[in-house]
């Protein structure tokens, strides 16, 4: 057997999906594994309903699907159906792991991961877990009982490595964000100039980015648009309003600052600066361009958003979505405590608050620089490589162990 990792045909099975927050880190780790071990056979277990059904094949990886089996939270008919459903999916997962001759299983949480962890444990296959949230979900808590390595985005996520190692590694970054981090590290001024020109903004003037994700955030849209006149006195604005929400924002800005203030945001090789300083779009496919030139971001605090922004060293105003057990607040608290941002409750984020705080902050260059430095120090840009190293190490051990047993 060759000791060269690039020659080994390891079989690595990833599990997870549903949302971009699960799928993107999964794909980032898979690509990182490919770079080190190009002959590795990578398979992804997901569902037909989640984003993985589209994103995994687009990334060039085979997708094996199972049905979601949510854990019952109360005694009802669903709870009675849980055991036969669980057994059926366990059988399906075991078949996949045997068919692929899996050397290691890598889970990112969610309904799909739970039966994969259990099946891998019963088949004596090493388990690697990545937990991206500040508070771990039920599937990863289950898997942590048997995991050989757990990588977390946050400290104190609620996971304990019963038999293996646990380490904060950060969030595996999408390729576009990882590439942007490299550009910002080597020549931030040139990265800013290039990105601003692509978006039709003036790189010599302050830039505020507002985003509530692909669906938008009504409270952010309302507060910022109603404070547009005061903001436009000191900054250019990139406002990503969310699907179907640009008309309401455009109407408000037009009424308060005049139609001439508005501009449609688009990506272009044309370096001319657009006339309107309030740049509107539903979303921006290449959001890394906005990240590259923004001086300050106003956003929700999903785990992916917080960690991408932190990896790029961006000062931010985080407005957590008020739902569940306060997960979004937990996501932002560490970087805020490190000095890289501010947390504002959704109910307190009003136009009056924006007027009173944001223009002043955008003109305080020393404070913005302190926030940038704190955020950059807190952010981690090597998570994919760290996770790939552990995945390949455990997979290689299992590979040689099983090869030896066969001989």
- What angle, rounded to 10 degrees, do the helices at 20-36 and 383-406 form? 60
Number of domains observed in the structure of the chain:
2
Kindly state whether residues 262 and 350 are assigned to the same domain: yes
Pairing type for strands 104-107 and 127-131 reads: parallel
- The tens digit of pLDDT for each residue in 77-94 reads 666 677 888 899 999 999
Shared domain for 348 and 361, answered yes or no, is yes
Same structural domain for residues 54 and 80?
A: yes
Per-residue pLDDT of 52-67, as tens digits, reads 999 999 999 999 999 9
Q: Sorting pLDDT into bands at 50, 70 and 90, what band is 217?
A: confident
Residues 209 and 149 in one domain: no
Instruction: Provide the pLDDT for residue 214.
Output: 67
174: Cα separation from own chain's centroid: 8
Residue predicted with more confidence, 163 or 376: 376
Q: Please indicate, yes or no, whether residues 165 and 190 belong to a single structural domain of this protein.
A: no
The answer to whether residues 374 and 245 belong to one domain is yes
Per cent of the chain over pLDDT 90 is 78
15 and 114 housed in the same domain = yes
> For 302-319, what is the mean pLDDT?
96
332 and 229 fall within a common domain = yes
What pLDDT sits at residue 19? 81
Q: Specify whether 92 is located in the same domain as 138.
A: yes
The pLDDT tens digits of the residues spanning 99-141 come to 999 999 999 998 899 999 999 999 999 999 999 999 998 999 9
Closest CA to 175 of 270, 58, 330: 58
Residues 143, 195 share a domain: no
The reported pLDDT for the residue numbered 77 is 63
Of residues 90 and 273, more confidently modeled: 90
Could you tell me the CATH number of the domain that includes residue 265?
A: 3.40.50.2000
- Tell me what percent of the residues of the chain surpass a pLDDT of 70: 93
As a whole number of angstroms, the distance between CA 268 and CA 292 comes to: 15
Residue ranges making up the domain that contains 70: 5-173+382-406
């Amino acid at each position: 057997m060759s000791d060269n990792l690039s020659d080994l045909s390891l079989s690595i099975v990833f599990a997870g999906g549903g949302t971009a927050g699960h799928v993107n880190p999964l794909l980032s780790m898979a690509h990182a594994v490919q770079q080190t071990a190009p002959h590795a056979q990578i398979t992804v277990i997901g569902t037909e309903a989640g984003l993985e059904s589209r994103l995994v094949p687009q990334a060039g990886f085979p997708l094996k699907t199972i049905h979601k089996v949510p854990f019952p939270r109360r005694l009802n008919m669903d709870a009675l159906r849980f055991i036969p459903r669980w057994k059926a999916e366990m059988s399906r997962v075991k078949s996949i792991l045997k068919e692929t001759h899996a050397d290691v299983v890598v889970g990112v949480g969610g309904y799909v991961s739970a039966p994969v962890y259990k099946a891998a444990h019963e088949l004596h296959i090493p388990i690697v877990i990545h937990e991206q949230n500040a508070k771990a979900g039920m599937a990863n808590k289950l898997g942590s009982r048997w995991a050989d390595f757990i990588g977390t985005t946050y400290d104190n996520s609620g996971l304990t490595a019963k038999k293996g190692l646990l380490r904060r590694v950060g969030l595996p970054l999408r390729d576009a964000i990882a590439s942007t981090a490299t550009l910002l590290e080597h020549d931030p001024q040139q990265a800013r100039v290039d990105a601003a020109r692509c978006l039709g903004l003036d790189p010599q003037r302050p830039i505020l980015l507002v985003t509530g994700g692909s669906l938008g955030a009504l409270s952010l849209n309302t507060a910022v648009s109603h404070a547009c006149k005061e903001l436009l006195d000191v900054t250019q604005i990139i406002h990503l309003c969310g699907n179907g929400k640009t008309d309401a924002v455009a109407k408000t800005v037009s009424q308060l600052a005049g139609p001439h203030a508005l501009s449609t945001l688009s990506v272009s090789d044309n370096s001319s600066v657009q006339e309107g300083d309030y740049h509107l779009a539903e979303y921006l496919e290449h959001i890394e361009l906005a990240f590259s030139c923004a001086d300050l971001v106003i956003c929700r605090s999903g785990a992916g958003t917080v960690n991408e922004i932190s990896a790029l060293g961006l000062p931010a105003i985080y407005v957590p979505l008020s739902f569940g057990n306060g997960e979004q607040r937990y996501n932002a608290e560490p970087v805020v405590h490190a000095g890289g941002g501010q947390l504002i409750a959704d109910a307190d984020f009003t136009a009056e608050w924006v007027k009173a705080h944001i223009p002043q902050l955008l003109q305080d260059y020393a404070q913005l620089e302190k926030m940038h430095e704190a955020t950059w120090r807190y952010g981690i840009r090597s998570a994919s490589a760290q996770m790939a190293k552990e995945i390949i190490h455990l997979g290689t051990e299992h590979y040689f162990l099983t090869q030896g047993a066969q001989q």
